[in-house]
Amino acid sequence: MVEEPPPPPPPEPEQEQEAAALRQEDFRQKGKVFVGNLPLWVGKPEITEFFRQFGPLEKVELVRGHDDPERNVGFCFLYYGGDDPEAAAGRAVEVDGVEFRGKSLTVRLDDGRKGRARAEERARWVEAGVAREARSPWHKGREDACREFRRVLESRPEDWQAVVSAFERIPKPSRREFGLMVVYYAKRGDKHHARATFENMRARGIEPNAFVFTSLVHAYAVARDMRGAMSCIEEMKSEGLEMTVVTYSILIAGYGKTNDAQSADKLFKEAKTKLDNLNGIIYSNIIHAHCQSGNMDRAEELVREMEEDGIDAPIDVYHSMMHGYTVVQDENKCLIVVERLKECGFKPSIISYGCLINLYVKIGKVPKALAISKEMESHGIKHNNKTYSMLINGFIHLHDFANAFSIFEDMIKSGLQPDRAVYNLLVEAFCKMGNMDRALRIFERMQKERMQPSNRTFRPIIEGFAVAGDMKRALNTLDLMRRSGCAPTVMTYNALIHGLIRKHQVERAVSVLDKMSIAGIAPNEHTYTIIMRGYAASGDIGKAFEYFTKIKESGLKLDVYIYETLLRACCKSGRMQSALAVTREMSFQKIPRNTFIYNILIDGWARRGDVWEAADLLKQMKEDGIPPNIHTFTSYINACCKAGDMQRAENVIQEMADVGLKPNVKTFTTLIKGWARVSLPDRALKCFEEMKLAGLKPDDAAYHCLVTSLLSRATVMEGSTYTGILSVCREMFENDLTVDMRTAVHWSKWLHKIERTGGALTEALQRIFPPDWNSSENLEASSSVSDRDSESCSDSEFSDNDEDHDDDL
């Protein structure tokens, strides 16, 4: 049997002390120095200035008092860095006992005692298996207060006062509690309170880390103050803290909200160079930034890059892409994204369906949006306030108020309570209907339900009163807005100006600028654009250009809408050379032409019957990659008709069919007018029948053009023309359509030439004349006109009337 070796002899006491010292030495932090006996009033800058002579200081921890954070407790810790922090700490210890600001300093190297104590305490916790009890009633009370603060923060975040009170009850908040409070303010976008909490933390001697700085940046980003957010970044870097992927992501999202995709992209590229791995969230934010600004090519490139890096796209990326295609109104690509979403295993959510509803509302296909909402309901997804408000908004834009109110009733039946956005839409609907009393009742209902009205609430009311010519009530509403705690903005005054312009009261609209000046609100480019539009409509091109000059002199941003207004003014007055000068100015300002710009120019040349210039513009439009729409082709057809080139006009109809566009009522009306101009009323009648076969309902302009063309040739054409007039008049009578007095007098002159003693045609026409039409008196008045006068005015009257309806088109 093998004997066990004897146990080793117990170590000598000196050996135990040496081993303990070695173990304590292991916990010592190199470059750390303790400085004691400091003056209580001394601050961190003074300490840093004195001790940096021994080496590069990474950090100074100055411990402050419980009761007075402005004073320290008499000691601090220094942390040296650089190539040899231990040598720097050794040089600092050599000044032990030196006099500093009237007191003899105690300077010692870190002996590891604190680190060892923490390790032993942690070991005891693990061994005991229970949490450490509070060392004193003060610590126990502090822990309870911290626990209560976190509970309120999680359960009642909407109760701002409760959260703040819970935080203030903490005797000595740590960095964690301060950080949570900054995060809370950041989510609310309250940058001022977030900054105050941040500075309070610093005043207590607690140094912010990257998390707290990032939360402060988040507060500025949510408040859309990106200049303040970048100032925080500079402050963060000055403290030696590096930006994390979360910091970059928050900044990119902030720039996305302010539609500054260029700055967002610059930060994203910087993050790619400085960080090893990017996550799906930062990709989602940069993609959303580009989608928000309509830069879909770059967004698609980022999606491909994300897939190549092996990062799975979250559903938010698909929603951002859908939103982007909604911004650029690309229905086909938006539907492709929906299919891709399903292929990747995602189930469409209410956000997915909301994006589709928003798309169809934006492009004017509200019935399709309604069908999408029915499909959403069939999949068990219920509407929320936002989807209902989208549908209501869509019908309001179509002036289909009956369906808008029907959707609102469905919303109430579903158990949802209207929010401020829905009430604002109802106010807008009643104002557009001219029912100002109902709009005010909705406003009173909002007040009863304790909803704070916004600028969006008051704007349509002010504009509605201005349109109705009731300036007194418009200004009273402006005063009510101030009393309600809602300060008028430039958009509020723009609504007032816009209402006056719609009533053709340009001078009164200009006088509003003085009221804005008194209120200390500067006009923006949209203000001047509205006034320019008013002067352009009244034919005062000089004044329109005068306000254009004011925009440039004020340093305001020139956009495509300003140039659209100028071009409309030039083209409507026939000053095409001035219009060309405006387009050259656009090129100089590097503002690209869009579809509306080309449509205005083509329509301007069409008014002059210059089909060649119109054709050149259409060709240039295609070369620039801008697809012509129905308005473009209709204006070009009008140019062909003015020039009498009906063969070219018919070729344009075929070209429209090739690109998938169908003629609308205005297109057919333009063709009818063209056939009448070349004295082919039978072709005009045939075009009218084709319009009805296409499922289109003729409007007043279409009936007017057709009857005028048929009447002008009824005396020389065969019976088909006569029969056509009777048929069209019968159709107008059955649809309860009547003409105005001016048109009735005009037609009666032709009627007098056809049937001097009355007949079936006279009876048919008088059924659609105004109710107060006295046939005998008007016919006698028209018969007093000599045949020579009638013949001389016949073509000219048709031509003048033709020009009037061109304006309608």
Closest Cα partner for 251 from 196, 277, 276, 214?
214
Name every residue whose Cβ is closer than 8 Å to that of residue 18 and which is 6 or more positions away in sequence: none
| For the chain, the helix, strand and coil percentages under 3-state DSSP, each to the nearest 5 | 70, 5, 30
What is the rounded distance in angstroms from the CA atom of residue 464 to the CA atom of residue 487? 19
* Pairing outcome for strands 72-80 and 99-100: unpaired
Which of 329-333, 424-428, 702-706 has the lowest average pLDDT? 702-706
- The reported pLDDT for the residue numbered 172 is 87
Q: What confidence category does residue 713 fall into, taking pLDDT thresholds of 50, 70 and 90?
A: low
Average pLDDT rounded to a whole number, residues 25-34: 80
What is the rounded distance in angstroms from the CA atom of residue 201 to the CA atom of residue 328? 46
* Pairing outcome for strands 106-109 and 32-36: antiparallel
Q: Half-sphere exposure of residue 658, counting CA atoms within 13 Å on the CB side?
A: 9
Which of 62-66, 560-564, 759-763 has the lowest average pLDDT? 62-66
Highest mean pLDDT among 12-21, 110-119, 133-142, 166-175: 166-175
Name every residue whose Cβ is closer than 8 Å to that of residue 60 and which is 6 or more positions away in sequence: 44, 47, 48, 51, 76, 77, 78, 79
Average pLDDT rounded to a whole number, residues 28-39: 88
Q: What confidence category does residue 6 fall into, taking pLDDT thresholds of 50, 70 and 90?
A: low
Radius of gyration, alpha carbons of the chain: 39
Amino acid identity at 758: G
- The reported pLDDT for the residue numbered 139 is 80
pLDDT in tens, 285-309: 999 999 988 889 999 999 998 888 8
Q: State which H helix or E strand residue 324 sits in.
A: helix 315-327
Token pair recorded at residue 806: 């061109």
Q: Where are the beta strands (DSSP E) in 13-102?
A: 32-36, 57-64, 72-80, 99-100
* Pairing outcome for strands 99-100 and 103-104: antiparallel
Q: State which H helix or E strand residue 104 sits in.
A: strand 103-104
Sheet holding 57-64, edge to edge: 57-64, 72-80, 32-36, 106-109
Q: How far is CA 618 from the centre of its chain?
A: 32
Which value, to the nearest 10 degrees, does the dihedral of the CA atoms of residues 144, 149, 152, 155 take?
A: -90
Name every residue whose Cβ is closer than 8 Å to that of residue 720 and which is 6 or more positions away in sequence: 682, 685
Q: How far is CA 650 from the centre of its chain?
A: 42
Q: What confidence category does residue 189 fall into, taking pLDDT thresholds of 50, 70 and 90?
A: confident
Q: How far is CA 238 from the centre of its chain?
A: 35
Q: Is the pLDDT of residue 232 over 70?
A: yes
What is the rounded distance in angstroms from the CA atom of residue 68 to the CA atom of residue 36? 19
Q: What confidence category does residue 730 fall into, taking pLDDT thresholds of 50, 70 and 90?
A: confident
pLDDT in tens, 272-289: 898 888 888 889 999 999
Share of the chain above pLDDT 70, in %: 89
Q: Is the pLDDT of residue 68 over 80?
A: no
Name every residue whose Cβ is closer than 8 Å to that of residue 251 and which is 6 or more positions away in sequence: 217, 221, 226, 229, 230, 233, 264, 267
Q: Half-sphere exposure of residue 538, counting CA atoms within 13 Å on the CB side?
A: 16
Q: Is the pLDDT of residue 805 over 80?
A: no
Give the mean pLDDT of the chain.
82
Q: State which H helix or E strand residue 106 sits in.
A: strand 106-109
Q: Is the pLDDT of residue 30 over 50?
A: yes
Q: Is the pLDDT of residue 790 over 50?
A: no
Q: Is the pLDDT of residue 135 over 50?
A: yes
Cβ neighbours around 214 below 10 Å, total: 26
Q: What confidence category does residue 804 fall into, taking pLDDT thresholds of 50, 70 and 90?
A: very low
**Contact indicator for 738, 768 with CB cutoff of 8 Å:** yes
Average pLDDT rounded to a whole number, residues 544-567: 86
- The reported pLDDT for the residue numbered 127 is 64
Angle at 737 between CA 734 and CA 738, to 5 degrees: 125
- The reported pLDDT for the residue numbered 719 is 64
Average pLDDT rounded to a whole number, residues 47-55: 87
Q: Is the pLDDT of residue 783 over 60?
A: no
What is the rounded distance in angstroms from the CA atom of residue 218 to the CA atom of residue 537? 47
What is the rounded distance in angstroms from the CA atom of residue 115 to the CA atom of residue 26? 9
Q: Is the pLDDT of residue 426 over 90?
A: yes
What is the rounded distance in angstroms from the CA atom of residue 33 to the CA atom of residue 89? 6
Is the model more confident about 758 or about 402? Answer: 402
What is the rounded distance in angstroms from the CA atom of residue 441 to the CA atom of residue 278? 53
Q: Is the pLDDT of residue 791 over 50?
A: no
Instruction: Name the one residue in this structure whose structure tokens are 């770059």.
Output: 298
**Contact indicator for 629, 597 with CB cutoff of 8 Å:** no
Q: How far is CA 268 from the centre of its chain?
A: 22
- The reported pLDDT for the residue numbered 394 is 92
φ/ψ (deg, to 5) at 349: -100, -175
What is the rounded distance in angstroms from the CA atom of residue 44 to the CA atom of residue 223? 32
pLDDT in tens, 569-617: 888 878 888 888 888 888 888 888 888 888 888 888 888 888 888 888 8
**Contact indicator for 89, 109 with CB cutoff of 8 Å:** yes
Which of 23-37, 344-358, 756-770, 785-799 has the lowest average pLDDT? 785-799
Average pLDDT rounded to a whole number, residues 696-716: 76
Q: What confidence category does residue 9 fall into, taking pLDDT thresholds of 50, 70 and 90?
A: low
Cα end-to-end distance, the chain, whole Å: 118
φ/ψ (deg, to 5) at 527: -60, -50
Cβ neighbours around 644 below 10 Å, total: 15
Q: Is the pLDDT of residue 171 over 80?
A: yes
**Contact indicator for 58, 64 with CB cutoff of 8 Å:** no
Q: What confidence category does residue 797 fall into, taking pLDDT thresholds of 50, 70 and 90?
A: very low
Q: State which H helix or E strand residue 212 sits in.
A: helix 210-222
Name every residue whose Cβ is closer than 8 Å to that of residue 350 and which is 6 or more positions away in sequence: 376, 381, 382, 383, 384, 387
Token pair recorded at residue 344: 């990747």
Instruction: Give the three-state DSSP class for 110.
Output: coil
Name every residue whose Cβ is closer than 8 Å to that of residue 165 and which is 6 or more positions away in sequence: none
Average pLDDT rounded to a whole number, residues 121-135: 60
Average pLDDT rounded to a whole number, residues 35-39: 89
pLDDT in tens, 240-266: 888 888 999 999 999 998 889 899 999
- The reported pLDDT for the residue numbered 430 is 92
Instruction: Name the one residue in this structure whose structure tokens are 């300036």.
Output: 471
- Please report the domains of the chain, with CATH numbers, ordered by start residue: 32-128 (3.30.70.330), 142-381 (1.25.40.10), 418-518 (1.25.40.10), 687-771 (no CATH)
Average pLDDT rounded to a whole number, residues 699-708: 81
- The reported pLDDT for the residue numbered 1 is 44
Token pair recorded at residue 85: 């922090």
β-partners of residue 75 are: 36
Crossing angle of helices 630-642 and 665-677, rounded to 10°: 10
- The reported pLDDT for the residue numbered 11 is 53
pLDDT in tens, 351-391: 999 999 999 998 888 999 999 999 999 989 999 999 999 99
